[in-house]
Structure 1
Amino acid sequence: MSGYPDLYMMIDGEKIGTDGRATFPVVNPATEEVLGQLPLATPADLDRALEAAQRGFARWRKASAQERAAVLEGAAQLMLERREELARAATLEQGKTLAEARIEVMMNVGLFRFYAGEVHRLYGRALVRPAGLRSTVTHEPVGPVAAFAPWNFPLGNAGRKLGAPIAAGCSVILKAAEETPASALGVLQCLYDAGLPGDVAQAVFGIPAEVSSHLLRSPVIRKLSFTGSTTIGKHLIKLAADDLKRTTMELGGHGPVLIFDDADLDTALNAVVPHKYRNAGQVCVSPTRFIVQENIYERFLAGFAERAAALRVGNGLEDGVQMGPMANARRPEAMESLIADARRAGAKLHTGGERIGNRGFFFAPTVLSEIPLDAQVMNEEPFGPVALINPYRSEEDMIAEANRLPYGLAAYCWTSDAKRQRLIQSELETGMLAINTTTVGGSDSPFGGVKWSGHGHEDGPEGLAACLVTKTVHEG
């Protein structure tokens, strides 16, 4: 299809095509057309990537702060110049609107520029000791990183997985999602074109279980960085534990949104409705469970359903589209199953609840209310365009519902009461909290969760620190 780039793997600076390898068809979720065939790695390909990563780490760990910063700043500038090209590839293979894909490019630009500055601040410290003694603490790159990125933010996830290790002086083997390879390859190409040596970062694709087990069995890999479901994350942690590899895990969520009766309802609705349905709800920090104080419940529900029903759904390449298709055929099927289960349990459907058209993976923005707590969708991350809205009487009940699940990635709260804001900050079990806003991240702020939503952080100084180990030296 016009505008979609050729697909390949990148190993030791070489583009590896489909010759002699199994392939995976990359599909446009808006049209169901095949965009291209992606080569899948053989065991020999993975071994070659591991050898290159080991060699690349020996080289890159010695690179100066100025060298690392120049690559990151250069890649940021190239992404800025290639914004339309990168955004179009992401929309073609993932489905999100061009506007959302452009924002994703700019997220990477900001992150790479932040790390370009942060590499100059990898400080150690000298400890106070008696005369004749000297003790220092330094931070060194952890080693080659195996980084696994999902399909929902094909540009941003690739940028997170590459930026911090490269800033820290590590090498990386990136396995991005097979559904969205061109986006990750585009980000990596910007790093190469900015001067990153070819053996420092590799891009491989393949059957996920085979690639992950092969890489994590190798003593070359010293850190695992994974973004994806809690189920897969738990499995990968077990594989990494055999060799005591460091792990950063950004896993599932089920974002609670507390709407109190003193909130500005129109302001809240105008913010949370588009935020709920961005990327068709396929966002780990998506606001999902709307926990609404009962005396404003009916007004909030009506306003939410009206706004959701008015959203324009279509091909993300078209002007004016506000929500694109879901990313693959599995997601509409999952939505149908979850919504049917909720309605059998007694939930009320206000809008949506069904596919749109007979071509592409489109699903209508959906609003459910009065959903029993034992319904599947109230306990499993829906990862789709469905909002769950229930009434609650007291502040205590609302906090209890927000904390009920084992997830703790992002949470939201709308209230004008300053005392209540402080209480919510203290009581909610979450890695990130947005109060009277939908913003939960930024290049300079740590991104990560608690409980089943994972551990460790990406972005900010914490994201860089996750790729470092600490060494203490005592001299007499």
Structure 2
Amino acid sequence: MVGEEGFLTVTTSLRPNFLNGAPLIDGEAARAKETFEVINPATDEVIANIPFLGAAEAEASVASNLRAYTDWRATSAHERANILRNWFALITDAREDLAKIMTAEQGKPLGEARGEVDYAASFVQWFAEEARRAYGEIIPSHQDRRILVIRQPVGVVGAITPWNFPAAMITRKVAPALAAGCTITLKPSELTPLTAFALAQLALEAGVPAGVFNVIAGDAPAIGSVLTGHPDVAKFTFTGSTAVGKTLTGQCASTLKRVSMELGGNAPLIVFDDADLDQAVEGAITSKFRNTGQTCVCANRILVQSGMHDRFVEALAAKISNFRVGNGLEGVTEQGPLITSAAYDKVDGHVRDAVEHGAKIITGGERHEAGPLFYQPTVLTGANDAMRLAEEETFGPVAPIFKFKTETEALSLANSTRTGLAAYAFTQDVDRFWRVAESLETGMVGLNSGLVSTETAPFGGIKESGLGREGSHHGLDEFLEMKSIHVGLRTV
């Protein structure tokens, strides 16, 4: 329930239905005796009080999904595609409202929030098209029979999404689930639930039947236990940290659910001596500082070859020192706040630890004057493996520079972690282009580009960065089961 004056003041253009945002079960707003606060990290203001739901409501949501599943799976792919197209159109129409909600609850610059709404909508549009492409096959047999393979929805889905991309991480899961004919209960982060509620309301307006797409929030462990342990939940999908992902995967084992895990990373970004300097700097900024460095695919370790090192550091520091930092709802900014005080403490702790282990601060390295949760865009040189930031995701606007001499050394450093989500490399050498791309132990590689996220390509990692893929035509497979049908023929 969006009812705090501070929120309404900064979102005066919102359509009336958005002002009633609440958890949604079976098409109705869910209520509870207790509430929890949603806080704007840029201002520390309470912008909403949300019903605090728990295990009972999660059970009710799954029951609602199960009731709705029979009819939803029976709808034609054509009908599901039309509904998803309607949802896409409504999201696009509400772009500015959704962006303001996102900036208010998450803190990212308004321009980035608008971009995320576009990105979120792209998944809905893409899977509206893919809904009609869940093709089967006929397999030749040596016996007097025919073998048909059909693909059917897996069933009821449980999903948990994070705070750093409150819209895109939802549509990347919900759109393919609905396209496949599944029903779904979503638990967004309690830090950023308002975007989820708005998207769910738009889905209802688009024609998604009650009970097909439910959204609940509150007691995260209790809700998570239901979604991972309930025997009627056939598939569970999660985006978040590796540690939490391991716990949730274990909880799914008792019912042998289908599982998709998009987990943490420790992305290396390699800049070789032959790279285009301007392209490498822009790519590093895009990867490292987007969303204030709070992305699982951001460059956590920047490896720069010795011949390029000094020029790259100088150019990068000059660029980020001119960033406009502040509240995204009060003007044009390039960087917003960190999400919580704990997040701030981790970022600052990584910088202090790096300095203790020999790093030099080139620019930044302190709290920004914009507010308690704002951290200065920071460049460090002299980074090494003894530092915490070499092993842990910083999840903040800190660019540590590691110097290397040879390609072999760079690849060894890049692959020296248990995670393998994304990696980046900048080079103008065509042979090196292929060698590096094939040698990096990650699920995604950006070559001469700081972006690896698009609805048309599979998104996901290897090693401890997860299981499964989201986006692209492969994303639909995560919500479908194959069934073989053997048809015997009588001989004439």
TM over 0.5: yes
Stretches of structure 1 lacking an aligned partner (at least 5 in a row): none
Give the drift of 1:44: 2.3
| Mapping 1:345-360, distance limit 5 Å | 345-357=357-369, 359-360=371-372
> Structure 1 length as normaliser, TM-score?
0.97
Counterpart position of 1:202:
214
Letter in 2 for 1:381: E
CA distance in 1, matches of 2:397, 2:52: 31
Which portions of structure 1, spanning 4 or more consecutive aligned residues, are displaced by more than 6 angstroms?
none
Which amino acid in structure 1 is aligned with residue 364 of structure 2? G
TM-score w.r.t. structure 2 length?
A: 0.94
* Aligned mate of 1:448, from 450, 455, 460: 460
| 1:274 Cα offset (Å) | 3.9
- 1:7–1:36 contact (8 Å) kept in structure 2: no
Indicate the residue corresponding to 1:273 in structure 2: 285
1:61-460, aligned counterparts within 5 Å? 61-130=73-142, 132-357=144-369, 359-460=371-472
SS in 2 for 1:222: strand
Cα pair 1:7 1:181 within 8 Å, conserved: no
CA distance in structure 1 between the partners assigned to 2:188 and 2:436 by the alignment: 36
Q: Cα deviations across residues 123-181 of structure 1 (Å, max 9, x unaligned)?
A: 00011135741101111111111100000000111111211100111010000011111
Map Cα deviations across residues 338-373 of structure 1 (whole Å, 9 max, x no partner). Answer: 111111111111111121237441111111111220
Equivalent residue for 1:14, pick from 23, 28, 38: 28
| Aligned residues of 1:32 and 1:359 also touching (Cα < 8 A) | no
Deviation at 1:275, TM superposition (A): 3.3
Is the contact made by 1:83 and 1:102 (CA closer than 8 Å) also made in structure 2?
yes
SS at match of 2:255: coil
> What is the CA-CA distance between 1:43 and the residue it aligns to?
2.8
Check if 1:44 corresponds to 2:56: yes
Following superposition, the deviation at residue 318 of structure 1 comes to 3.0
CA distance in 1, matches of 2:355, 2:278: 28
Identify the residue that residue 14 of structure 2 maps to in structure 1.
none
Q: CA deviation at 1:459?
A: 0.6
CA distance in 2, matches of 1:184, 1:280: 21
Bigger shift: 125-134 or 262-271?
125-134
Give the conservation status (yes or no) of the 8 Å contact 1:276–1:286.
Answer: yes
| 1:47 Cα offset (Å) | 1.6
1:79 Cα offset (Å): 0.6
**Structure 1: which amino acid aligns with 2:86?**
G
* Whole-Å separation in 2 of the counterparts to 1:311 and 1:398: 29
The residue type paired with residue 12 of structure 1 is: D
- Superposed CA deviations along residues 283-321 of structure 1, whole A, max 9, x for unmatched, are 111112111111111111111112121111011123331
Cα distance in 1 for residues equivalent to 2:242 and 2:55: 27
SS at the partner of 1:317?
Answer: coil
Gaps of 5+ in 2: 1-5, 12-18
State the Cα distance separating 1:261 from its structure 2 match: 0.6
One-letter code of the match for 1:8? A
Matched length: 474
How far off is 1:3 after superposition? 4.4
Q: Is the 8 A contact 1:161 1:174 kept in 2?
A: no
Contact kept in structure 1, 2:26 and 2:214, CA below 8 Å:
yes
Shift of residue 375, structure 1, vs aligned partner: 1.0
In structure 2, the CA distance between the partners of 1:8 and 1:360, relative to structure 1 (3 Å rule), is: farther
What one-letter code is carried by the residue in structure 2 that aligns with 1:100? Answer: E
Q: Say whether the 8 Å CA contact 1:6–1:36 is kept in structure 2.
A: no
What residue is the counterpart of 2:39 in the other structure?
A: 27
Per mean C-alpha deviation after superposition, the further-off stretch among 232-241 and 436-445 is: 436-445
Distance 2:177 2:286 in 1: 33
